[in-house]
Amino acid sequence: MKAKQKRIHVSEQGRPTAPGNNLDPWYSSYAARAAGLSASEVRALFAVASRPEVVSLAGGMPYVSALPEDLVTNAMSTVMRDEGPTALQYGSGQGVPKLREQILDVMALEGIKASASDIVVTTGSQHALELFSKLFLDPGDVVLSEGPSYVTAMVIFKSYQAEVAHVPMDDNGLIPEALRERIAQLKAEGRRLKFLYTIPTFHNPAGVTLAAERRAEILQIAQENGILVLEDNPYGLLYFNQQPPNAIRSLDEDGVVYLGTFSKTLAPGFRVGWALAPHAIREKLILANEAAILCPSSFSQMVISEYLSQADWKGQINTFRGVYKERKETMISALEEYLPGCTWTNPNGGFYVWLTLPDDLDSKAMLPRAVKELVAYTPGTAFYADGGGRQNIRLSFCYPTPEQIRVGIRRLANVVNGELDLLHTFTSSGPLTTRRSSQSFNAPPPNMS
């Protein structure tokens, strides 16, 4: 019996088109995994937030103006003068050896002891996350992650056709017993659990830090269930008052892959991060790195290496701490003044405050009104794979000045109060209440869409 041939639709220019889609003539040709690629709500905000009249509390951009220009330009000049031909050439797929040795000194500040041979330099830690996902994820696999979680990590996992299973958090980070229950549930369903993705220190977006005793317990739970831990740590050195607990990687060498970056402690424009991995995983990461980009930028690596050799980089990190601490304190003070009916986290480091709105408010639906009021934020829905977070907002204090933060929170209060007035006017549901911050962050919020 002759097989029925698929009809090919052709444009006037002779290109194949997909039935029902006149925007992309190649729609039917994409791989299935391309369906997981979509613009995040954070990325979509940048066009609006870049307008000068808008106070952006949305993007997590480091305040690079706090970095003295001569620290970088001197490093660049020295590299080009002394090693220009090497800096402008192809390099190793694993990264510059000297920089990998210096990365050991950076990680030692968080209790990590390792070998430079187990470090793979990548084009930012985001690239390391993508390479790791490429190595480990098959369609239908499950990634465990805090709820909420880093938005672009979820985009990457989805692009490899994996599912994100959220685990609740509280003010002390990921809840161990909730992790046990989630693992048991997924195993009972016959699901393939590949790894636990976690941002334990100054979490993005929640701002909380995983307590020291929980770090050991969560690692034990992962080991008991044969689950690898992927520890993402962009903010760990940016603490304000009390130094956070040592990295999870400091507790175990074989069951944890650690991701680090210079984007937050130096500048994101260099696009230099790294992965610290057990030997066998490291070898595959190098091969994946070479297959994707041949090698990370030799120039960027050598400039950072020169900076670490000659500059007071620890002092510069301390300067960043002071800058971000002032901004965080300004944001908390403004929230107390303008939005007393909300609750929020109070981070000891990092870039973010996680705001919980009064009951019945929807942060995503409220965003157009906020933009009209000239303030931008990231709705909580961006940080959940399951549609949660409508009652939450991520507020970034890292980039705007203290004065802009106060203006932005005042404008946000106008938006929130306006929404509350509308609810009082058009509903008869009784008095509105607020949630308490002690509840788990991913308790299902009302959905008004």
User: 365-390, pLDDT tens digit by residue?
Assistant: 999 999 999 999 999 999 999 989 99
Q: What is the pLDDT of residue 43?
A: 60
* 120-177 tens-digit pLDDT: 999 999 999 999 999 999 999 999 999 999 999 999 999 999 999 999 999 999 999 9
- Residue pLDDT, tens place only, 12-48: 445 444 454 557 888 888 888 787 676 655 565 656 6
Query: Is 23 a domain residue?
Result: no
Please give the backbone phi and psi of residue 441, each rounded to the nearest 5 degrees, phi first: -70, -25
What's the pLDDT score for residue 437? 40
* Co-location of 269 and 132 in the same domain: yes
Average pLDDT (333-345) is 97
What confidence score (pLDDT) does residue 10 get?
47
> For residues 363 and 391, is the Cβ–Cβ distance under 8 A?
yes
Let me know if residue 158 belongs to a domain: yes
CATH number at residue 222: 3.40.640.10
Region 65-82 average pLDDT = 93
Give per-residue pLDDT as tens, 175-226: 999 999 999 999 999 999 999 999 999 999 999 999 999 999 999 999 999 9
Judge whether 60 lies within some domain. Answer: yes
pLDDT of residue 24: 82
pLDDT of residue 428: 56
Of 129, 171, 136, nearest in space to 150 by CA: 129
Residue 445: predicted pLDDT:
32
**pLDDT, tens digit, for every residue of 299-315?**
999 999 999 999 999 99
pLDDT at 345 over 50: yes
Do residues 50 and 131 both lie within one domain?
no
What's the rounded Cα separation, in Å, for the pair 96 and 299?
A: 10
User: Both 77 and 203 in a single domain?
Assistant: yes
**Checking phi first, is residue 442 left (phi over 0); if not, alpha (psi -120 to 50) or beta?**
alpha
Nearest to 325 by CA among 402, 408, 263: 402
**Is residue 170 domain-shared with residue 241, that is, in the same domain?**
yes
Nearest Cα neighbor of 264 from 124, 57, 145, 133 is: 124
| Residue whose C-alpha is closest to residue 346's, from 395, 303, 280 | 395
Between residues 11 and 171, the one the model is more confident about: 171
Say if residue 247 is in the same domain as residue 339: no
Question: Which CATH number is 345's domain given?
Answer: 3.90.1150.10
Cβ atoms of residues 34 and 374 within 8 Å: no
End-to-end CA distance of the chain: 50
Which of the listed residues 310, 334, 352 is the one where a domain comes to its end? 310
Please, what is the average pLDDT of the chain? 89
pLDDT score at 22: 55
Tell me: do 73 and 189 sit in the same domain: yes
Q: Is the pLDDT of residue 429 over 70?
A: no
**Same structural domain, 277 and 335:** no
CA-based torsion, 151, 155, 156, 157: positive or negative: positive
Instruction: Label residue 87 exposed, middle or buried (CB < 10 Å: 0-12, 13-18, 19+).
Output: buried
In this predicted structure, what is the pLDDT of residue 42? 55
Distances, alpha carbon 3 to alpha carbons 6, 17, 18, 29, 365, in Å: 9, 22, 21, 21, 49
Residue that has been written with the tokens 């984007």 in this structure: 263
| pLDDT value for 448 | 25
Give the phi and the psi of residue 147 in degrees, each rounded to 5. Answer: -120, 110
pTM: 0.88
Q: Which amino acid is at 374?
A: L
Q: Of 275, 310, 345, which residue is a domain's last?
A: 310
Name the domain count of the chain.
2
Strand partners, 232: 259
**Whether residues 86 and 181 fall in one domain:** yes
Q: What is the largest CA-CA distance in the chain?
A: 76
Give the model's confidence band at 434: pLDDT under 50 very low, under 70 low, under 90 confident, else very high: very low
Determine the pLDDT at residue 360: 92
CB 388 within 8 A of CB 378: no
> With bands split at pLDDT 50, 70 and 90, how would you rate the model's confidence at 257?
very high
State the pLDDT at residue 30: 84
Looking at the structure, tell me whether residues 59 and 96 fall in a common domain.
Answer: no
Q: How many residues does the chain have?
A: 449
pLDDT at residue 125, rounded to an integer: 95
Cis amide prior to 268 (ω within 30 degrees):
no
Q: Does a structural domain hold residue 355? A: yes
Q: Which of 287, 310, 333 is the last residue of a domain?
A: 310
Q: What angle do CA 33, 449, 409 make, to 5 degrees?
A: 95
What letters, b where the CB count within 10 A reaches 16 and e where it falls short, cover 301-328? bbbbbbbbeebebeebbeebbebbbebb
Q: Are residues 151 and 123 in the same domain?
A: yes
Range of the domain at 306: 69-310
User: What percent of the chain lies above the pLDDT cut of 70?
Assistant: 87
Say whether both 158 and 276 belong to one domain: yes
Are 303 and 191 contained in the same domain? yes
